[in-house]
Structure 1
Amino acid sequence: MLLAGGAAFAASPAEANTITVTVTDLRSHDGVVRACMTRVEAIFPRCIRDPKSHRTVVPASSRVVIRFDNVEPGEYAIALLHDENDNGKADRTLGMMPREGYGFSRDAKVRMGPPEWRDSVFHHARDPQVMTIRMRYFI
């Protein structure tokens, strides 16, 4: 059972105000997956700067499911990092290209830097929400 947002994900039906994310295409089971969900466009994807963000860390495995509980209705974006060496940061090669996996809500693509807010943002109502985010790797 993986813990996320202070609650366990189980086979029971999703509760209102939950967002459940299935992460696909991890290249290894090394390290952890760091997830951060924010409502603040100005700091995305570095949502750790948002004290009201929803954040969690789960072990990388063959099935990664992240559940954010008690999510207020509104506009959100999610950023994921496959921190393969579990050092707490996004490692880069040549100072700017990511060495580890990343993913964003709405499967937003990375071009010359992280995706724009408008490409990642989604609306959350009070109903349970389920989504899939694919992990991508530059190298």
Structure 2
Amino acid sequence: MKTLFTTIIVLLFSLALSAQETFTLKVTVDNAKNDQGTMVYSLSTENQFMKAAPLQSATVEIKDGVAVAIFENIPAGEYAVMVLHDKNGNNQMDFTDQGMPKEAYGMSNNPMSYGPPSWDDAKITIESDKEIAVRL
């Protein structure tokens, strides 16, 4: 009886650990001014947002002003998406001498602000498969 009880507990515990549901996020940019370069996407948690390497990233070709990235196996939670139109292919945002971005960029929720975006403005909640559009 004791062995049966232990086996059931171990089985339930292992099922709970392996049953973490994950989701897919589709991110579309449809307003690129041209097809030059690529779109660079990053999906970040609050701790990674503009501080560290993202949870996932993608580099996508632009065709007729449209680029679509798909992030898979995302656990439920809060995330932010950043998108950069990397015209020169150096995988980073370029700035003018005055500190203004030279390349177009956008964030989840499409906040319109002067200066760096905030986590609160850009965060989205993933609780199921989701599609969002980001404007540059």
Query: With structure 1 as the length reference, what TM-score do the two structures score?
Result: 0.76
Q: Which has the higher helix share?
A: 2
Distance in 1, Cα, partners of 2:31 & 2:129: 24
Task: State how far apart, in whole Å, the 2-side matches of 1:134 and 1:60 are.
Answer: 14
The AA in structure 1 aligned to 2:119 is W
Q: CA deviation at 1:50?
A: 3.3
Larger CA Rg, structure 1 vs 2: 2
Tell me the equivalent position of 2:46: 40
Residue 8 of structure 2: aligned partner: none
Gaps of 5+ in 1: 1-15
Partner of 2:91: 88
TM-aligned CA deviation for residue 60 of structure 1: 2.1
Query: Aligned-pair distance for 1:54?
Result: 1.0
Structure 2 contact 46–119 (Cα < 8 Å) conserved: no
Would you say 1:99 and 2:102 are equivalent positions?
Answer: yes
Identity %: 30
Give the Å deviation of 1:19. Answer: 0.4
Q: Against the structure 1 CA distance between its residues 88 and 95, is the aligned structure 2 distance closer, same or farther, given a 3 Å change threshold?
A: farther
Q: Is the 8 A contact 1:45 1:78 kept in 2?
A: no
Q: Separation in 2 of the partners of 1:31 and 1:19?
A: 23
Question: Which sections of structure 2, spanning at least 5 residues, go unmatched?
Answer: 1-21
Q: Aligned-residue CA RMSD in angstroms? A: 1.5
Aligned equivalent of 1:133: 134
Q: TM-score, normalised by structure 2?
A: 0.77
The alignment of Structure 1 onto Structure 2 pairs a total of residues equal to 114
